[in-house]
C-alpha cells in the first residue's frame, strides 16, 4: 500500500497519531541478521506505519538497500519505503533500482538528490535536466505513473546549500508539484522552527502531510557531529545540559529520550499527526520514546506475522506458527484471499508449493550450530537439545525461525519440558485461551483500529515427534477423552487419527466490536498430512542433519528419527474446561523417562 493511502486510512480509522522509523543497511552479514531481528521486533511491538531504509551516496548500497527493503516488505509485517538518489548514478542504474523494487513489491520511494560520494565536494549528473530531487520525482512519475508512492525531503532550517528559507520552500513545492505525496523533514531540535516551516509551506500551497524527522540524541560526540553537518540550531538548554553530563553515556541517552519526548508532545499538541524517527539502527531510545508517548499500536494484528502486502489475509494453518517466514515464502505468489483465506486447498490452483527446506550453511555456521546442538548419538542427546532450547540454554532449534521462545510458549514451558523428557519432541504448541482481552500482552491480537473491547480465544494445541510405541500408549489415553482430536502421521504418510476427513478446525478466533468473527488460525488435516508433514520431517535431515558429515553417527541418528518417528498433533476442542497437560501427565505415567 502506498504510504499516503495508509495515512489516509489512519485518518478514516481514527488511529492518528502514527509514526515511522528509519534504518540504514548494515555492512556485515551478522549485523544484517541482528538488524532484521530488531526490525521485526520493533515492527511487531510498536506498530509503526512504515519503515524507511536509506540508500548509500552514489548508489553505494544498491544491492543491500534493495535486498533489505524487500525483506522488510515481505517479512516485517510493515510497509517499507526505500530511498533513491540521483547524484552520480546513471539513469540505467535508477531504472534498474525502480524495476527491481517493483518486482519485490516495494511501492514507496523517498526521492532525494543525494549527497556527493565521499571525497567529492559537490554533486554532478551527466544527464541534462536531471539534477534535483524534483527531476527524480518527475522521472519516476513519467516512467511508472502512479505505481509508486513518493516522498521527498524538507528542510525546516533550509538546505545546507541554500541560505534562503523561502527559496528552499519553493524548491520543496516544485518537488511536490512534480508528483510527491508527502514530505519528511531533516532532523531539528527546535520545535518552533519546524512549526514555522510547516506554516510557510501551507502558505506557499504545499498541502500534503509533512512529517517531522526526530533524531534522539544518542551520544555527545555523535550529536555534535550531526548538528554541525546538518547545520541545525539547538536550543541553549540542550547544549548546556549536554555539557554537564557529557561524560556519562547513559545520562546522555536518557536525556536524549527526554528531549525527544518533549519535542514530540509539543508537535502532537500542535496538531502534527505523524512522527518520523531516525533510529541510527538503534532500538532502545526510539522504543522508549514511542512507549512514553503512548502512541504505540501495541500488539499483533493477527496471531501470526502479517506482511505489509497481505492486509487481505486472515486465515492460516497453525502448523507454521513457529515458521512464519517459511509459510510466507511458500505462498509468496498468492495475491488473492477470497474471504481472507486461500481457496480450496484441494484445488490444483492452490499452489502451495514446497521448494524443500534449502538452508545453505557455511562451514563456520555449521561449526557454530554444532557448538549449540552438539553431536547427538542417542535419543537422550536429542532430548537434551530440545530441553536446552526450552530452558533457554540454547537460542536456536531448527523448527523455530525465531531465536528463543515466544511468550506464548513460555506460558506452558513446564508442560513442554515434561513431554520432551519422555522423548516427545515438541515443535509447536499454543496454550488454551478462553475469553482473554484482545489487548492482553501475552495472547492478545486484533485489528489496530478495533482491538479495544475485543476478546480472543485459543484451543490448546501441541505438536511433537515420537516413536510408534509411545504413540500407541498416548493414543490409548487420548481415546478416553471425546473432546480431544489428534492426527499422527509418519514420513510415509501412514496415519493414525480420530478426525474425519474434511474437518477444518478453528484454533484461534476473536470477537471484536462491530465486526464479524475473525478466525486467523485453523488446523486443516489435509494440509498437515501433506505439505506440513514433508516440511517438518525434512528439517531432521535437511536443517539439523545438514550440520554433520553425511557419514557421521549424528547424521544417521537424525535420519533414523526422520524415517521412523511419527509427527503427532493433539488439540483439545474444549477451550473452556479442557486440560491437555493433565491428560498427558496420565499418558506419561506409562512411558519411560529418558
Active site residues: 22
Q: Which position has the grid cell 511458500?
A: 330
For residue 444, the SS3 value is: coil
Residues in contact with a second copy by CB under 8 A are 339, 434-435, 452-453, 455, 457, 482-483, 485, 499-500, 503-506, 509, 511, 513-517, 519, 522, 573-576
Q: Work out how close the CB of 438 gets to a second copy at its nearest, in angstroms, rounded to a whole number.
A: 12
SS3 of 209-252: CEEEEECCCCCHHHHHHHHHHHCCCCCHHHHHHHHHHCCCHHHH
* Cell numbers that stand for 260 in this block: 525527544
Q: Work out how close the CB of 316 gets to a second copy at its nearest, in angstroms, rounded to a whole number.
A: 13
Q: Work out how close the CB of 78 gets to a second copy at its nearest, in angstroms, rounded to a whole number.
A: 24
The alpha carbons of the chain give a radius of gyration, in whole angstroms, of 27
Q: Work out how close the CB of 478 gets to a second copy at its nearest, in angstroms, rounded to a whole number.
A: 14
Nearer to a second copy, 359 or 576 (CB): 576
Nearer to a second copy, 69 or 485 (CB): 485
Nearer to a second copy, 523 or 591 (CB): 523
Nearer to a second copy, 12 or 203 (CB): 12
Nearer to a second copy, 162 or 576 (CB): 576
DSSP per-residue letters across 537-583: HHHIIIIIGGGS-TTSHHHHHHHHHHHH-EEEEEEES-TTT--HHHH
Q: Work out how close the CB of 513 gets to a second copy at its nearest, in angstroms, rounded to a whole number.
A: 4
- What percent of the residues of the chain are helix, what percent strand, and what percent coil, each to the nearest 5? 45, 15, 40
Query: CA angle at residue 180 from 179 to 183, to 5 degrees?
Result: 160
Q: Work out how close the CB of 482 gets to a second copy at its nearest, in angstroms, rounded to a whole number.
A: 7
Q: Work out how close the CB of 525 gets to a second copy at its nearest, in angstroms, rounded to a whole number.
A: 9
- Whether omega before 478 lies within 30 degrees of 0, making that bond cis, reads no
What is the DSSP code (8-state) at residue 117? P
SS3 of 137-170: HHHHHHHHCCCCEEEEEECCCCCCCCCCHHHHHH
Q: By the 8 A CB rule, do 473 and 590 touch?
A: yes
Nearer to a second copy, 277 or 486 (CB): 486
Q: Work out how close the CB of 129 gets to a second copy at its nearest, in angstroms, rounded to a whole number.
A: 45
Q: By the 8 A CB rule, do 21 and 5 touch?
A: no
Nearer to a second copy, 93 or 505 (CB): 505
Nearer to a second copy, 229 or 517 (CB): 517
What is the DSSP code (8-state) at residue 22? E
Nearer to a second copy, 185 or 458 (CB): 458
Beta strands at 425-430 and 518-523: parallel, antiparallel or unpaired: unpaired
Q: Which residues contact 26 (CB under 8 A, 6 or more apart)?
A: 32, 34, 35, 64, 281
Phi-psi region of 423 (alpha: psi -120 to 50; beta: other; left: phi over 0): left
Distance CA 268, CA 279 (A): 20
Nearer to a second copy, 19 or 509 (CB): 509
Q: Work out how close the CB of 1 gets to a second copy at its nearest, in angstroms, rounded to a whole number.
A: 17
* Cell numbers that stand for 550 in this block: 553425511
* Cell numbers that stand for 46 in this block: 510498536
Separate counts of helices (H) and strands (E) for the chain: 21, 18
Buried b (16+ CB within 10 A) or exposed e, 525-559: bbbbbbbbbebbbbbbbbbbbbbbeeeeebbebbe
Distance CA 16, CA 8 (A): 10
Q: Work out how close the CB of 466 gets to a second copy at its nearest, in angstroms, rounded to a whole number.
A: 22
Distance CA 533, CA 537 (A): 6
Tally of residues, the chain: 594
Amino acid at each position: 500500500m502506498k504510504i499516503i493511502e495508509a495515512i489516509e486510512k489512519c485518518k478514516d480509522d481514527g488511529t492518528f497519531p502514527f509514526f515511522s522509523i528509519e534504518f540504514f543497511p548494515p555492512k556485515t552479514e551478522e549485523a544484517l541478521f541482528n538488524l532484521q531481528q530488531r526490525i521485526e521486533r520493533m515492527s511487531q511491538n510498536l506498530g509503526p506505519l512504515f519503515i524507511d531504509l536509506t540508500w548509500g551516496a552514489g548508489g553505494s548500497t544498491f544491492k543491500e538497500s534493495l535486498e533489505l527493503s524487500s525483506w522488510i516488505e515481505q517479512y516485517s509485517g510493515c510497509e517499507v519505503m526505500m530511498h533513491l538518489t540521483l547524484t552520480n548514478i546513471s539513469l540505467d542504474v535508477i531504472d534498474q533500482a525502480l524495476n527491481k523494487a517493483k518486482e519485490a513489491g516495494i511501492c514507496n520511494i523517498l526521492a532525494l538528490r543525494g549527497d556527493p560520494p565521499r571525497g567529492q565536494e559537490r554533486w554532478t549528473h551527466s544527464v541534462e535536466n536531471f539534477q534535483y530531487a524534483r527531476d527524480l520525482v518527475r522521472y519516476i512519475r513519467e516512467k511508472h505513473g502512479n505505481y509508486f508512492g513518493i516522498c521527498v525531503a524538507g528542510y525546516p532550517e533550509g538546505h545546507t546549500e541554500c541560505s534562503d528559507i523561502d527559496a528552499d520552500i519553493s524548491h520543496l513545492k516544485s518537488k511536490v508539484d512534480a508528483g510527491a505525496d508527502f514530505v519528511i523533514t531533516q532532523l531539528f531540535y527546535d520545535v518552533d522552527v519546524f512549526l514555522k516551516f510547516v506554516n510557510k509551506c501551507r502558505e506557499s500551497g504545499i498541502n500534503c502531510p509533512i512529517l517531522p524527522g526526530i533524531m534522539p540524541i544518542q551520544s555527545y560526540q555523535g550529536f555534535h557531529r550531526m548538528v554541525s553537518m546538518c547545520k541545525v540550531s539547538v536550543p541553549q538548554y540542550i547544549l548546556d545540559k549536554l555539557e554537564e553530563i557529557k561524560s556519562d553515556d547513559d545520562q546522555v541517552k536518557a536525556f536524549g529520550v527526554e528531549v525527544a519526548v518533549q519535542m514530540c508532545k509539543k508537535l502532537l499538541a500542535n496538531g502534527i499527526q505523524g512522527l518520523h524517527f531516525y533510529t541510527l539502527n538503534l532500538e532502545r531510545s526510539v522504543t522508549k520514546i514511542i512507549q512514553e508517548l503512548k502512541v504505540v499500536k501495541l500488539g499483533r494484528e493477527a496471531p501470526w506475522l502479517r506482511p505489509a502486502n497481505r492486509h487481505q489475509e486472515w486465515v492460516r494453518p497453525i502448523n507454521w506458527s513457529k515458521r512464519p517466514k517459511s509459510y510466507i515464502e511458500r505462498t509468496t505468489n498468492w495475491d488473492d484471499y477470497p474471504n481472507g483465506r486461500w481457496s480450496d486447498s484441494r484445488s490444483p490452483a492452490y499452489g502451495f508449493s514446497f521448494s524443500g527446506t534449502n538452508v545453505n550453511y557455511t562451514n563456520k555456521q555449521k561449526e557454530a550450530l554444532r557448538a549449540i546442538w552438539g553431536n547427538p548419538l542417542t535419543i537422550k542427546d536429542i532430548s537434551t537439545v530440545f530441553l536446552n532450547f526450552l530452558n533457554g540454554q540454547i537460542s536456536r532449534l531448527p523448527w523455530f525461525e525465531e531465536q528463543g521462545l515466544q511468550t506464548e510458549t513460555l506460558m506452558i514451558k513446564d508442560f513442554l519440558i515434561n513431554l520432551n523428557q519422555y522423548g516427545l519432541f515438541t515443535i509447536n504448541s499454543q496454550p488454551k485461551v478462553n475469553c482473554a482481552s484482545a489487548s492482553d500482552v501475552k495472547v492478545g491480537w486484533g485489528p489496530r483500529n478495533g482491538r479495544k473491547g475485543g476478546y480472543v480465544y485459543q484451543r490448546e494445541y501441541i505438536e511433537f515427534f515420537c516413536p510408534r510405541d509411545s504413540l500407541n500408549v498416548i493414543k490409548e489415553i487420548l481415546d478416553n477423552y471425546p473432546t480431544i482430536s489428534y492426527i499422527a502421521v509418519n514420513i510415509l504418510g501412514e496415519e493414525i487419527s480420530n478426525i474425519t476427513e474434511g474437518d477444518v478446525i478453528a484454533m484461534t478466533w476473536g470477537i471484536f466490536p462491530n465486526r464479524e468473527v475473525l478466525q486467523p488460525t485453523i488446523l486443516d488435516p489435509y494440509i498437515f498430512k501433506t505439505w506440513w508433514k514433508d516440511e517438518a520431517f525434512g528439517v531432521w535431515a535437511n536443517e539439523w542433519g545438514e550440520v554433520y558429515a553425511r557419514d557421521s553417527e549424528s547424521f544417521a541418528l537424525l535420519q533414523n528419527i526422520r524415517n521412523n518417528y511419527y509427527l503427532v498433533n493433539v488439540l483439545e476442542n474444549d477451550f473452556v474446561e479442557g486440560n491437555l497437560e493433565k491428560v498427558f501427565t496420565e499418558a506419561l505415567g506409562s512411558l519411560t523417562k529418558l
